[in-house]
């Protein structure tokens, strides 16, 4: 009996203490942080990728790109005759290969159609002697060494004899043609050196203002725009000069005719 009373007494004491603790905590001021309203986003777990699925997806994308590649007739051709540009040929194929994920084997399979005239015979000779070779070998050891002394002389001669004529030449076409010649002859030459060499073929009246623009680094487009601007100004100046000359001749002709008419009247 006494034990039961003692237990009940202890329970009452514990209950009273808990009530006091709850009452004290309810009366305390609630604290909050200044950024309690901001929720930090929980980053989702990284998706686990399947290497096999990734590889299949990559292969599918490559197949789609290859189907979108230009047709054979739209690819660059190399003749091996005249002013052929083997560097432009290589650069264009490189861009096609990069843009459409074209494999080396597909390029070598098309070479017999991309080479024309003398280059085709040259291609057949290499194939007969060496058998099937890789695209890397074609571009690094064969095509890059295709030009000979005769070709180099022809390109250099064409560049040196091509002077810009505002009356006949279009700045864009002429400038790019000269740049192609120099880039095929000297692929290691900087763009600025190519520009400075081209400017020497613009004649004194155009060369000086173009050289002044070359003090600051200029792109090919900026030089072409400058050449078009200067050439247009010169055309207008020449037209104005011719117009003034024609007006003066017309006035002089009128004076002569009037004098002849006066002399004729006096004789009558």
> What is residue 232's predicted lDDT score, i.e. its pLDDT?
83
pLDDT above 70: percentage of residues in the chain: 67
Q: Which backbone phi and psi does 116 adopt, to 5 degrees?
A: -130, 160
The residues with which 115 forms a beta bridge, in sequence order, are 78
Mean pLDDT value of segment 133-158 = 93
Rounded average pLDDT over 228-241:
73
Q: What are phi and psi of 41, to 5 degrees?
A: -65, 140
Token couple for 142: 């064969």
Q: Does the pLDDT of residue 268 top 70, yes or no?
A: no
CA 19 to chain centre: 80
Query: CB–CB of 172/224 below 8 Å?
Result: yes
Angstrom distance (rounded) from CA 124 to CA 220: 38
Residue 82 Ramachandran class (φ > 0 left, ψ -120 to 50 alpha, else beta): left
Say if CB 119 and CB 78 are below 8 A apart.
Answer: yes
Q: Which of 107-111, 127-131, 247-251 is predicted least confidently?
A: 247-251
Residues above pLDDT 90, as percent of the chain: 40
The tokens for 27 are: 């009366």
Distance CA 134, CA 138 (A): 6
Q: What share of the chain is helix, strand, coil (3-state, %, to 5)?
A: 70, 0, 30
Residues constituting the chain:
268
* DSSP-derived secondary structure for 168-186: T--HHHHHHHHHHHHHHH-
Which one, of 217, 222, 197, 220, lies nearest residue 207 by Cα? Answer: 197
Q: Per-residue pLDDT averaged across 214-227, rounded?
A: 80
Across residues 87-106, what is the average pLDDT?
92
Q: Is 61 helix (H, G, I), strand (E, B) or coil?
A: helix
Look at residue 156 in the predicted model and tell me its pLDDT.
95
How high is the mean pLDDT of the chain? 79
Given a cut of 80, whether residue 29 has pLDDT beyond it is no
CA torsion 232-233-234-236 (nearest 10°) is: 90
At 163-202, the pLDDT tens digits run: 998 888 999 999 999 999 999 999 899 999 999 999 999 8
> Is the Cα dihedral 156, 162, 163, 166 positive or negative?
negative
More confident residue, 67 or 224: 224
Question: Taking the model in full, what pTM does it have?
Answer: 0.62
What's the rounded mean pLDDT across residues 84-99? 93
């Amino acid at each position: 009996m006494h034990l039961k009373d003692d237990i009940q007494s202890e329970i009452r004491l514990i209950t009273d203490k808990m009530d006091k603790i709850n009452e004290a905590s309810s009366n305390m001021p609630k604290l909050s942080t200044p950024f309690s309203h901001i929720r930090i986003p929980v980053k989702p777990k990284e998706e686990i990728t399947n290497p096999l699925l990734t590889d299949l997806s990559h292969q599918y994308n490559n197949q789609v790109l290859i189907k979108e590649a230009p047709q054979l007739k739209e690819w660059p051709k190399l003749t091996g005759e005249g002013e052929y540009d083997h560097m432009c040929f290589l650069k264009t194929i490189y861009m096609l290969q990069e843009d459409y994920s074209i494999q080396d084997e597909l390029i070598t399979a098309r070479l017999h159609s991309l080479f024309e005239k003398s280059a085709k015979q040259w291609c057949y000779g290499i194939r007969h002697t060496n058998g099937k070779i890789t695209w890397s070998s074609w571009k690094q050891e064969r095509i890059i060494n295709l030009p000979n002394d005769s070709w180099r002389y022809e390109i250099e001669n064409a560049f040196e004899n091509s002077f810009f004529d505002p009356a006949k030449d279009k700045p864009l076409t002429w400038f790019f043609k000269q740049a192609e010649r120099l880039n095929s002859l000297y692929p290691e030459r900087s763009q600025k050196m190519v520009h400075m060499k081209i400017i020497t073929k613009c004649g004194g009246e155009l060369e000086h203002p173009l050289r002044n623009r070359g003090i600051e680094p200029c792109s090919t487009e900026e030089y072409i725009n400058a050449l078009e601007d200067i050439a247009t100004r010169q055309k207008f100046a020449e037209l104005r000069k011719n117009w003034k000359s024609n007006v003066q001749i017309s006035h002089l002709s009128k004076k002569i005719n009037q004098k002849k008419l006066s002399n004729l009247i006096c004789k009558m």
